[in-house]
Amino acid sequence: MKLKDKVAIITGSGRGLGRACAQAFSREGASVVILSRTPEEITGTATAIENEGGTVLAIRADVSNSSEVDEVVAETMSVFGRIDILMNNAAILGPPRVFLEINPEDWEQTMDINLKGVFLFSRAVIPQMKKQGAGKIINVTSGLAEIVMPPFGAYSVSKAGVNHVTRIMAEELRTFNIQVNALDPGIMDTIMQEKIRQLGPDIMSEAMAEQFETFHTDGHLKNPEDIASLAVFLASDESDLITGEIGSELDYSTYGYNL
């Protein structure tokens, strides 16, 4: 198994990609710490993992709250004694508004969860990874980090920040044998995508609304379980020589990930 005896923390693991990765990591031998702001969701993920014979610790926590983040890390250390993998997956879509119509409170919440959460959790686990002499940090990003697509400006800016934080951490942690990479899962069949479709032409342009609907009806949305295999690759020893990269399945295939 690729992650045997490893301990992984996965944020936003109550549903979608986070849940799929938690189950995939467990199947590869890792003990997984899952968290979400919604207790019912992580309970469902925990039950699914336990039913497969996996080891899981479920914690309700807000990634934007520094004290709660520290509590998750402390509890993980108390139960498992180490932290090998951090997957910063928690994110929200944020306000679907053009820039000048975004409420400051909505902007702050988007940055707090999508970007500040990455900073807080990484900052909390890195000292332990340094002590262990190794670690993997996987930041989930988006293609919207690199393109302009109103009305998703707040989300795009937050993910652009994630990309640059990934590069900065990778360089700073290179000498400590801690690899930091970003995973762009593409357009997946998730609740977030469903929420985007529900916005319709009243919020998006008519052409954009039609495009997102077509992604769904024509079966172009990816299954989170398929993307989870890429997360396993980035969490495993197979990616030891990769750091500071931001990419998708195709991008990482050049480093030995098998599509």
Q: What end-to-end distance do the CA atoms of the chain give, in Å?
A: 18
CA dihedral 153→159→164→166, nearest 10 degrees, is 180
Q: 153-173 and 117-132 helices cross at what angle (nearest 10)? A: 20
> What average pLDDT does range 53-82 have in this prediction?
98
Per-residue pLDDT, 215: 77
Digit-coded pLDDT (tens) for 169-200 = 999 999 999 999 999 999 887 888 888 888 87
Give the pLDDT confidence of 249-259 residue by residue, as tens digits: 999 999 999 87
In 3D space, the residue among 112, 202, 122, 226 whose CA is nearest the CA of residue 168 turns out to be 122
CA–CA gap between residue 202 and residue 139 (Å, rounded): 32
pLDDT tens per residue across span 202-220:
777 777 767 878 878 877 7
Would the pLDDT of 127 be above 80? Answer: yes
- Output the pLDDT for position 209: 66
Question: Residue with structure tokens 């937050």?
Answer: 158
Catalytic machinery residues: 155
